[in-house]
Amino acid sequence: MVIDQTDLRILDALQRDSTLSVAELAELANLSSSPCWRRVQRLEEDGFVMGRVALLDPVRVNVGTTVFVAVKTAQHTPRWLMQFRDAILEIPEVVEVHRMSGQIDYLLKVLVPDIPSYDVIYKKLIARVDLFDVSSSFSMEVMKRTTALPLGYVI
């Protein structure tokens, strides 16, 4: 699907505030409400908009400690991967998992209240799946946090 600058303005506005009304979106996109709504529906149907969520403050919901966990495995089999996937899916504190290139195999982002809580998560993970090496790093300060994706590469 080809999208234009108007679609990009709609996407940018939605990713920054998904609570905007159609009238507000239309104004930002220089459209009337009906054409704007049709564009939003098309963008959703075509998979540009994956969902709409409320972003919560991790500190306010008592998961203000961010841990980045580097995982290495000596096993690269489909069976091990399924076991690993099942383990991480069952741990809600694991909020992101990336399969990596380079020195580590997987990078996990874990949100917990404190270091002892992370230790519980670590023990759950190693009880479920055989890991070669696990290295944890604790975030000291969030210097930038955004969910807004850069849209300059779309067109």
Kindly give the parts of the chain with pLDDT less than 50. Answer: none
Domain boundaries, given as residue ranges, for the chain: 5-45, 65-138
Q: Give the predicted TM-score (pTM) of the model.
A: 0.90
Q: Which tokens go with 153? A: 């590469």
**Which strand ranges, in their side-by-side order, compose the sheet holding 133-138?**
94-99, 106-112, 65-72, 133-138
The four Cα atoms 115, 120, 124, 125 give a dihedral, to 10 degrees, of 10
Architecture of the CATH domain 65-138: 2-Layer Sandwich (3.30)
Q: What is the pLDDT of residues 65-98, one digit of tens each?
A: 999 999 999 999 999 999 999 999 999 999 999 9
Question: Rg of the chain over CA atoms, in angstroms?
Answer: 20
What pLDDT score was predicted for residue 1?
Answer: 77
Q: Which tokens go with 129? A: 């799946």
| Region 5-45: CATH code | 1.10.10.10
Dmax (CA) for the chain in angstroms is 58
